[in-house]
Amino acid sequence: MIYVSTRGRAPALDFEGVTLAGLASDGGLYVPETWPRFSHDDIAAMAGLPYAELAQRVMQPFVGDSLAPDRLLALTTAAYGRFSHAAVTPLVQLDEKQWLLELFHGPTLAFKDVALQLLGLLFEEFLARRDDHLTIVGATSGDTGSAAIDAVAGRAKVDIFMLHPHGRVSAVQRRQMTTVLAPNVHNIAIDGSFDDAQAMVKRMFNDGAVTGRFGIAAVNSINWARLMAQVVYYFAAALQLGAPQRKIAFSVPTGNFGDVFAGYVAAQMGLPVERLIVATNVNDILHRALAQGDYSAGTVTPTAAPSMDIQVSSNFERLLYDAGGRDGALLADQMARFEATKALQLTNAQRDHAAHLLTSARADADAMIAAQRWAFDHCGQVIDPHTAIALHAARIAEGLPADVPVVTLATAHPAKFGDAVMAAIGQQPVLPARVGDLFDREERYDRLPGDYAAVRDYVTARATPRNG
């Protein structure tokens, strides 16, 4: 499989290349040159497979020659063997129409583990081949940092430096990062906000003195391999509910548009997806874009669902590219205008194409709490704020055929957002036993001033330079 940039000017790469590359050199995002397609019979033959085997079958066309099937299966078996549920991503029934897909049974209790556990293994595999070294630098307001650290802790040829704003992440989130004591993990508490930390990371990616010596890499959801790993659970859920004979709808709590784009990819591959519902909180740029064609960034309002508090959704570019007929020059133009004015109008072609599959809904705090109460009072299910936003959108969706089940993606374990759950339903969710000693473990992190030079010197003193 060959990958091309959404902005049409970066060199094409194979799967190994895009996994290590992150952003394309023309500022675009990598996508497969064509969507691989499974027949009705291919999909029917996937029913009943263990998750790791299903993952190998769904991902093999994207991986191509970069990994032999038995090697890819070894990696998916290792990655998903670390999940605490034998089904990896189990489905839970709510009522005759509504279902939850629990994506939070990985080591750090958020759906990001599904992709990052595999990505950590892919990094190790490809770096060993090239005898090269990667230095991951990231800023986190919570979930991504802990999932990325867990995925690469102790792995050869990778160092990770994760910045978090000192005193501004929850104790659970901080401890999930700082109690990982592997020597290749470096936690940095920055004096300042998340945006300050993020700005320092961006500056480091553009600092030739750093990038000249070190293989600096990102682990955010612009990485194609992350999206690819997320396609698998759309297949897993749909097969359980009767695909390929029956169509399925999904409701997805959306921030950077990575998770829902994976559902879009599943549909392009032949999975019978009736609809993808893009659920946003009051930070509703995507709802405005899909409902009105107006993709314009505002200011971020902090909510109880912080992983959806975004201004700009980086993966939306991949949809615009595909929906706009894969015209790299057109998209490069659109994105240049967006970067200058923070606003973009979708073309009619983009809107029409998106509308075949995607609808959107927005939930404010009251709607979110009402969804948490409904799940608890009527189904005995405790759900986190992100999941609640998507469940609200699933329950108000109109025009779906009566026999189409609606699957809400449950993206975080409720105990990760215990205070918000307590406020909504009056119950404090308990952390699962396997992370229950989190508060007894030793923590390790360094605190640095909110000053770029201090962070740069810290990283360059500890990272391993790349070879050659």
Instruction: Point out the residues that are catalytic.
Output: 112
C-alpha distances in Å from residue 217, one per residue of 12, 22, 76, 201, 310: 18, 7, 22, 11, 22
Q: Which is nearer to ligand PLP, 135 or 220 (CB)?
A: 220
The first and second tokens of residue 147, run together, are 């999932």
Question: 3-state class of 154 per DSSP?
Answer: coil
Q: CB of residue 48 vs ligand PLP: minimum separation in angstroms? A: 28
- Written as one letter, the residue type at 217 is A
CB burial of residue 53 (10 Å; 0-12, 13-18, 19+): middle
Q: Nearest 5°: CA angle at 59, between 180 and 260?
A: 75
Q: CB of residue 370 vs ligand PLP: minimum separation in angstroms? A: 19
The alpha carbon torsion through 52, 58, 60, 64 (nearest 10 deg) reads -150
Q: CB of residue 147 vs ligand PLP: minimum separation in angstroms? A: 8
Give pairs for 367-370: CB < 8 Å, separation 24+. 367/392, 368/281, 368/304, 368/305, 368/392, 368/424, 369/423, 369/424
Q: Which is nearer to ligand PLP, 143 or 317 (CB)?
A: 143
Residues of the shown chain interacting with ligand PLP in the complex, contacts defined by CB under 6 A: 110, 112, 143, 221, 253-259, 307-308, 386, 411-412
Q: CB of residue 231 vs ligand PLP: minimum separation in angstroms? A: 12
Chain center to CA of 55: 16
C-alpha distances in Å from residue 320, one per residue of 88, 119, 244, 332: 31, 25, 27, 11
Q: CB of residue 69 vs ligand PLP: minimum separation in angstroms? A: 28
The alpha carbon torsion through 453, 454, 459, 460 (nearest 10 deg) reads 50
Report DSSP state, residue 49.
-
Q: Which is nearer to ligand PLP, 365 or 454 (CB)?
A: 365
Q: Which is nearer to ligand PLP, 307 or 408 (CB)?
A: 307
Q: Which is nearer to ligand PLP, 313 or 334 (CB)?
A: 313
d(CA 144, CA 153): 14
Q: Which is nearer to ligand PLP, 112 or 164 (CB)?
A: 112
Q: CB of residue 56 vs ligand PLP: minimum separation in angstroms? A: 23
Question: 3-state class of 184 per DSSP?
Answer: coil
Proportion of the chain in helix, strand, coil states, percent, rounded to 5: 45, 15, 40
Q: CB of residue 419 vs ligand PLP: minimum separation in angstroms? A: 15
Report DSSP state, residue 111.
T
- Written as one letter, the residue type at 58 is V
List, in sequence order, every residue forming a beta bridge with 102; answer none if it has no partner. 410
Q: Which is nearer to ligand PLP, 155 or 386 (CB)?
A: 386
